[in-house]
Amino acid sequence: MQARFSVDSGDFTKAGSASSAIKRMLKQLGVKPAVVKRVVVALFEAEVNVIAHSYGGFIQCDISPEKVNLLVQDTGPGIPDLDLAMTEGWSTATDAVREMGYGAGMGLPNMKKNADSLQISTAAGKHTEIRMSFSLKEGEDGVS
């Protein structure tokens, strides 16, 4: 099962619409509330990142009985220093973005905290690609 959502740069009014849609899908599939919550929190952060920092991009969601895979890809400008970006509280957000209540520097750390696995490939001047996965199997981390 695959679903794809485009995310426009700078449109904060739509922030969370992709994560909401994916939330509704997971609930319909009977995924445990605790897992749904982790997916929504991590994805929301990624979605806001695309809106706030990139030239726009898309979110692709693949669901199998075993796991939820999320691919978030933007069209640039890339993250120059990924280690720094993974630090809690570190942010390049502009004042305008911070005034809207975003840009606290918790985006990437929150993704890492909530996803069972997180892969980021990026470089200055390139696009950023984030892959997150969440296990749906009983007994593994995915159980509430």
Partner 1 sequence: MAFHRTLKVRENLCKSCTHCMKRCPTGAIRIDRGHAQVEEAKCIDCGQCMQACPHHAIAVEQNLFEELFYFEKRVAIIPAVFFAQFDDQYSESQICQALYDIGFTHVYPAELGIDITRLYCVKGADCKPIISNFCPSVVRLIQTRYPSLVPHIGLKTTPSHVTALFARLELEDKGVGIFYVTPCPGKIAEFHRLAEAGSAFNGVLNMDTVYNQVSTSLAKNKRKFAKEDGAMSFPVMTGSAATWALSNGELAGRKGRSLAIDEIHHVMEFLEFLEENEDESNIDFLELKACAEGCVGGILTARNRFLASERLRYWATSLPSELPEPLVQRIMKQKDAMMDKMTTPIHEVSAIALDDDIGVALYKMEKVRKITDALPGIDCGLCGSPTCSALAEDIAQGQASIRQCTVLRLKDPKEVNTLARIWGEKVTGEKGEGK
Binding region for partner 1 (CB under 8 A) = 1, 16, 19-20, 23, 25, 27-31, 33-34, 36-37, 40-41, 44, 63-65, 136
Q: Show contacts of 21-25: CB within 8 Å, 24+ apart.
A: 22/59, 22/61, 22/70, 25/1, 25/61, 25/63
Q: Smallest distance, Å, CB 78 to partner 1? A: 28
Is the Cβ of residue 23 or residue 53 nearer to partner 1 in the bound state? 23
Q: Smallest distance, Å, CB 25 to partner 1? A: 7
Is the Cβ of residue 65 or residue 89 nearer to partner 1 in the bound state? 65
Q: Smallest distance, Å, CB 45 to partner 1? A: 12
Is the Cβ of residue 79 or residue 97 nearer to partner 1 in the bound state? 97
Please answer whether residues 9 and 51 qualify as being in contact, where contact means their C-beta atoms are separated by less than 8 angstroms: yes
- CA dihedral (37, 38, 40, 46) in degrees, to 10, reads 160
Q: Smallest distance, Å, CB 79 to partner 1? A: 24
A 10 A CB-CB count for 24 gives 11
A 10 A CB-CB count for 134 gives 24
Q: Smallest distance, Å, CB 29 to partner 1? A: 5
Is the Cβ of residue 28 or residue 83 nearer to partner 1 in the bound state? 28
* Residue 36 backbone zone (phi > 0: left; psi -120 to 50: alpha; other: beta): alpha
Is the Cβ of residue 27 or residue 126 nearer to partner 1 in the bound state? 27
Place of tokens 């720094």: 84
